[in-house]
Each structure stands twice: as structure tokens, then as C-alpha cells.
Chain A
Amino acid sequence: MSAIETRGLTREFGKLTAVDDLDLSVEEGALFGFIGPNGAGKTTTLRLLAGLLEPTAGEVTVVGIPVGKDPRAVHRLIGYMPDFFGVYEDMQVWEYLDFFARCYDIPAARRRQVVVELLDLVDLAEKRDGFVQTLSRGMRQRLCLAHALVHDPQILLLDEPASGLDPRARVEMRELLKELQAMGKTLIVSSHILSELEEICDRVGIIEQGKLLFSGAVEDVYRQVGQERVLRIRIISDREEALAALQDYPGVGEVGEVVEANGQLEVEFSGDDWALAGLHAHLVNSGVALTHFSGAVGDLEEVFLQVTKGEVA
């Protein structure tokens, strides 16, 4: 059964359609990367999934339960970490977790245990008695993640958990997410920074202007949407010859020169990975001396730019 499934999910704010006819399916145990530029509708989608917004049209089911029917049952299944969140003033770290544990009706004895366990998990055990407002950004982020875990939910909705973190904290957050996946939880993690999701996600969804442009396994992204890409090629042999060889090959579009990159060529190319490998072979066979041939299987970032090309505001 899918952990989360949406059918025709639409949400309008006045004239703006933030989420447009979204069909999404996330398998149980998956670490799903939800990717899109700022304002694409990621946060709105996550809030719809968490039952914090009412959809204009469509439906969300969480483990088979329609969110609109029984939001409270869904709330017990889901842990939600918003992208921007505040902390209460004048509250100690343990009180903060204790408070949310109370919200989930966790009995007193278990509550104490949960607080200790979670503080260990997110590495805040030393800050137990510190005041929440004195924590650093990264610590707050981890505390917020911990708050979403107090009731041991099956599904975690994490909205930009790594935003604003320094590289080290980002690595730690990534480790934490992997650990949570290993614990058997389903994670839906949104981000506009793709490099961090690329390594840990097994499935991604790309959203832009409220529309889901792609959803599937990471490898498929390259295969499906990597049809048109930009290659960077560095040639040390004769330039004219190389250009001629390039133009011979099917799928090669415009070729330009990147001045600032020491005379590299930028080649627009459409075709799958096999076609790409063929281009490489063709160039080599044509006697072109290559020292650099890149961008073919670029990172998710490039795919993302491709997919959302021209539509990013």
C-alpha cells in the first residue's frame, strides 16, 4: 500500500493555483525527494498532505485513510516539520518536547523516556535544560525534527529540513534522515537544493508551478528527462574538424563557445545515454582529441534546470 497517495490534488489561493491536479504516490519505506524551485508549491503540497489545508479539489489518502475524513487519525500517523517555524520563548528544550508529547497524549512515564531518546537521536542531550531561544539554527532545526518524532510516526513530512544549515550541519541532517529511513519510516523531504537529496533519495518528484513534472526513481529521471542536455567538451585538436564531426551526429543542436571556461564548447544535445555514448565514440573515431566531455550524466541539479527550464520565474 502506498504510504501517501494524492488524486487530482488542487489548491487555489484566489486566482493563484498553488497546486495543480497533482497525482502523487509514495511507497512505504521510501525516502522521497520533493524538488522544486521556491514558490513551486512544495510547501502547499506538504501542508495539504498533513491536513493543514483544505484542498480545492482532489483527495489525499494516508495509508489508505482519507485526510479529509479523519484528520486526527492522520495526525497520529504523520510527523510534520514546517519550512519556517518558530520556537516558544521561555521554554526549556526538554519542556518543548514534553509539550508536544503531551499533545499526542503520550503517558507521563513514556514521555520522559521519549524526550531522552529523541534528544540523543538529534544530538541535543547536552542542551536538555537550555532555553529554546538560545539554540543555534542547526540545533533548532534538529529540535524541530525531534518534535515531529515524539509520537513515533510512520510518515515524516519534512519541509526544507536542511535550509539555512552550514555544510557540516547539512551532512549531519542527511545522516539523520538516512537513519530514520533505516528505522522503517517513510520520509517525504522537500528541497530546492538538489545535491543534498540526490545522494539519499531513492525516489524524487519534481514540481513546478504546482504541476508535477516528474515522479519516479532517481535513475529514471536521467533517462526520462535527460533527453535534452548541455554538454561541455574540451578539444585540443583542430576546432573546425571537431565542429564538423559534431554536426554530423544526429541530435546535436546548437554549438557555442564558452569564453570564460578556456575555450570549452557547449553543445546542446538531445538523446538518451546510449546516444550520448555514441556521440563520444563518434568524436573519438573522427580523430577529435578530447580532454573533457562532461555534463552528460550531470547531477540532479542539471536535470532540474532542464526540466524546469523557461518556467522558472
Chain B
Amino acid sequence: MKKLRLGWNPIIIKELRSRMRGARAFIILTAFLLLLGLVSYGLYRIMAATSGRYGGRPLLSAHVGQAIFTALAFFELLLVCFITPALTAGIISGERERLTYDMLLATPLRPHSVLWGKFISALVYVLLLIFAAVPMASLVFIFGGVAPEDLVGVLIILLTTAVTFGAVGLFFSALLGRTVRATVITYAVIIALIAVTSLVPMAWSIVREQEPPRALLYPSPFAAMVSALNVTEPGPAWEGPQMLLLMPFMLPFGFFGFGRGIGMQQAGAELRPIWQYTVGLYIGLTLLCYLLSTQLVKPVRRWKIGWRGALLLALILLLYGGGAYGFYRQDGLAAWTAPPAPPTPAPVREIAVQRVVEVPVKIPPPPIPTPPVSLPPTPTPSLSEDNQAAIYAVVVRQLYTVAQSIGQPPDSLVVYLLQATQDGTVDPRAPYAETRLLPESVQTATIATLSDMPAEFLWHAPPEGDTGAVVNLGNVHLQEDDTVVVSASLYSPRLGIIGQIYILKQVDGVWQVVGGTGDNE
């Protein structure tokens, strides 16, 4: 019986030995990390310098974290897109050009082992670059605003892109047999892929004046990254010159998509985010390129796969088909034709951070509106006071929960609710109505609904020197589609201001938040 030896693929050993020799590997790694470091540091300086000047909202440490994380993710993706083909486009053609290929093929090593070994060792270097940048990305956790799951999502997209673009390079290397030609064609294909998936949706949105179908965005790694990062919700992180950094990556979303919650879960229809489709497509493309390459590198008996090969191929097709069917079962074809931006703004994204580190940004307390006692309480037409109280209770509850998730609960467990409504504290473009005094009955009913919360809610302005949180509520605006829009903000001396415009809808007699945005047109 033949002894089974689980040895390393000799190609991997050889490639790893020689790859890390000499200065080149280290120069590329150093340059890669330096570039990413410069981007993050530069972004931080810009944000700190321009805080509060553009868009007027003060900056939270979490915003800095999110901005740096986003910028890092995009730049790393850009670099991976262009470094990987350079490493793989010479895999087979290089052996042919160096006249070493015959010597390899004359050994009992199977041609696909040669392919696999060279592919893996080229990818290992890209993985080294990606993982070397992880500690840099985790600097973001100092600032907060980014959850570890976000990092995992970014890594999945980076790895998939690296493997796929690597496989494309591998295929052309095996097909064309000349490294220069293979490299040029691979870059041309990748640039075309990115350009087409950026320009076509943009053109679509301009010409048809509507969102392009989601499927147009699937092949783009940048669209995948945007959807994974939710960067299209422009928080204070992207107000100011730093937004220019992101502009090129946002191209695929056209003019209409920009600034909308693309990646967020759509209210109603729960479609998988774009990036999951991208990853699925890329796995397919990788398999295709790799399997074609295994045939192209065979010196003899090309395209004859034998029963074992056929079985393997059937298994791969079955697994892939199964995955595709799973996607179809859940989303249907709507995932391909639906516009990328949801019709209603997505709900508030809860930001899970352990602690907030103070950034050198001053957060001034907001002006507390003086209740215009002289004004008579003008009831909102068509909404009963009960409904108003229910809506305010939901909003306050949501705001308080978000505040809790950003940091610790406000120091004293007292939350002051301002009796006078004020619109426009969150976004000047939000629906606006005159400040009014909330009716007594609404105040009482709201507090009653909130009685299960751990904090005490009081309807008056905070006494001088008190550190309790202050909640400023806007007017309730009833929309034509029976949803209501309410803006609300919470100020705490520790946290600064968080604010949101909420969209609520009555479902089965209960008011629920169905969306929220900082940017409602």
C-alpha cells in the first residue's frame, strides 16, 4: 500500500523561501502600511481642524473612528485591486519565460499542484499585506464608532477581492503565456470591471432619473465595500473636506444614490446587502478562472477531465448552485432589479462601542429653547394626543437606547424633556413647524409610557450645573403616506449631541420606528 505522505506542496515552500528574500517584499509591505497610515493620520487632522465648521454638527470621537475606518477600508481595497494581479499574472507565464516550466512538468508533480502552489503563495503575500494592516485598522477602536463585526465584513470583502482578482491574473497568465501581456490584459479587465460598474449606474441614474437596479452594482468591489460599511449615511464624519476622499468610491451609486442608506436594510423587503451578492459572484468567477487555468497548464491531454474530475466538477457546481438557490429563495429576483437605495430611510444604526475617548473637540451645550409660554398649545391636526404621546415615548426610548449604546448611561439617571418643541435641531432641511408647548396630557402620557425605563424622565429644563441628559423633541409631522416624521436630539455633557430624524408608522395600532435619517429631502 502506498504510504500517504501529507507533505507541503514543494512549490509553496520554494515560493515562500524566495519571495521573502531580498528587499522587494519588505519595501512593498512598508510602502503599503505607510500609505494607509498617512491616509488615517491626514484624515484625523482634517477632521479635528474642521470640526463643526461644515454642516455645523459637533464631532464625536466615534465619528472620527468611523471616518478613518471607512477611508482605510477603501484605500486598502484599492491597493489590493492593483497589487494582486501584479503578483499572479506572472505565475505560469513567468515559469514559461524563465524556461523552468518544462523542468517542473517533467517531475511527478501534477500541473494543478504547480498552479495551486504558486497561486496560494502569491495570495499568501497579499494576505500578509491585508493582515498587516489589521492592527492599523484596530487603532480605530481607540476612537470607537466601529464594531468588530464591521472589521470582519471589511476583511471578507478584501479577501474575496484579492482571491478573485488573483484568479483572473492567474487565468490570463496561463492563457497568454507572456507575463507582460497577461499583466496588461488583467489590469485592463479589472479597470473595465470597476469603470463599467461605476459609470453605467451613474449614467442610468442621470438618464432615467431613477435609481439603477442593484444588480448593476454587484460586480464592483467598491459597491460591496460601500454596502458593508453603510458609508452612504452621511453622519458628521463625512461633512467637510474629508468627503472628497470618498467621492471616487461613491461613483457607482450615481448622483441619486449618494447620500442614501444603500447598504442599510430596507424597511419592508429585507434584501441581502449588496456585498453578499458580490462575494457570491466573485466566488463563481474565481472557480471559473481557476478551473480553466488547471486545464490550460496541462502539457498534454487538455480538456480531458476523467471521471474523478467530472465528479469534483459536479460537486462544485452543486455547492455553488445550492448557494445561489439559497440566495434566490430568500430574496427572489427582486434583489437584482430593485433600486439600491431603499424607498424609506433605514433605521438608526446602533453603534456599539465600549467607551468613548475624548478627542480635542469642544462640544458646546446646545441652546435650550425658552418655552414660549405665551403661545397657545396648537394641537397637531389629525393626530390625537394619545398618538402624539405614544410617538414621543417611542422616540425618547430609541434615543436613550442609542445614547446608552454609545457610552455609559447619563451620569445621573435623570433625563430632562423640554416642554417646548423645536424643529431643525438635527437637520435644517427637516420638516419645520413653529415651536409650541406640548399639552399637559401629552407630557403625562409620555412619561407614563416610559415608566419601565431605568431613568427618570422629567418635563422641565435642567437646573444649573446638573449633568443629566436633555432631550429636545420636534413637532410631529404627519406625512401623506400615514408615516410621521419627528426629529429629536439628546445632549449629555459626556457624550455631546446625538440626534436623528425618526420616521414612525403605526403597525397594528403600535407606533414603530421604520426609518430614520439625518438627510431627508
27 A–B pairs (Cβ distance < 8 Å), ordered by A: A51-B299, A53-B299, A53-B300, A54-B299, A54-B301, A75-B107, A80-B102, A80-B103, A82-B99, A82-B102, A82-B103, A84-B99, A85-B100, A87-B98, A88-B98, A88-B100, A89-B18, A90-B18, A90-B22, A91-B18, A95-B17, A100-B107, A103-B10, A103-B108, A103-B109, A104-B108, A144-B103
Q: 1/0 per position for A87-112, CB-CB distance to B under 8 A? A: 11111000100011011110100000
Given A68-B300, A100-B107, A103-B10, 7 extra CB contacts under 8 A: A75-B107, A80-B102, A82-B103, A103-B109, A105-B7, A107-B5, A144-B103
B108-123 interface with A by 8 A CB criterion = 108-110
Alpha-carbon distance A47/B97, docked complex (angstroms): 17
Contact A102 to B108, CB < 8 A, known contacts A82-B99, A84-B99, A89-B18: no
Tell whether B14 is near chain A: CB-to-CB under 8 Å: yes
Q: Is the CB of B103 within 8 A of A147?
A: yes
Q: Is the CB of B13 within 8 A of A102?
A: yes
Tell whether A72 is near chain B: CB-to-CB under 8 Å: yes
* Chain B residues whose CB sits within 8 angstroms of the CB of A51 once the complex forms: 106, 299-300
* Chain A residues whose CB sits within 8 angstroms of the CB of B17 once the complex forms: 90-91, 95
Q: Is the CB of B21 within 8 A of A90?
A: yes
Tell whether A76 is near chain B: CB-to-CB under 8 Å: yes
Q: 1/0 per position for B71-113, CB-CB distance to A under 8 A? A: 0000000000000000000000000011110111111111000
Alpha-carbon distance A90/B20, docked complex (angstroms): 9
Q: Is the CB of B108 within 8 A of A72?
A: yes
* Chain A residues whose CB sits within 8 angstroms of the CB of B8 once the complex forms: 102
Instruction: Tally A-B pairs: CB < 8 A.
Output: 81
Q: How many residues on the B side are at the interface (Cβ–Cβ under 8 A)?
A: 27
Instruction: Give which listed residue, B5, B97, B104, B301, contacts A103 with CB less than 8 A.
Output: B104
The binding surface of chain A is classed by DSSP as loop
Q: How many residues on the A side are at the interface (Cβ–Cβ under 8 A)?
A: 33
* Chain B residues whose CB sits within 8 angstroms of the CB of A105 once the complex forms: 5, 7, 108
Q: Is the CB of A85 within 8 A of B10?
A: no
CB closest residue in chain B, given A85: B99
Chain A positions near chain B (C-beta within 8 angstroms) = 47, 50-54, 68, 71-72, 75-76, 78-80, 82, 84-91, 95, 99-100, 102-105, 107, 144, 147
Q: Is the CB of A99 within 8 A of B10?
A: yes
The smallest beta-carbon distance between B45 and chain A, in angstroms, is 40
Contact A76 to B108, CB < 8 A, known contacts A51-B300, A88-B18, A90-B21: yes
The smallest beta-carbon distance between A67 and chain B, in angstroms, is 9
* Chain B residues whose CB sits within 8 angstroms of the CB of A104 once the complex forms: 107-108
Alpha-carbon distance A82/B96, docked complex (angstroms): 13
CB closest residue in chain A, given B25: A90
Alpha-carbon distance A68/B17, docked complex (angstroms): 34
The smallest beta-carbon distance between B114 and chain A, in angstroms, is 9
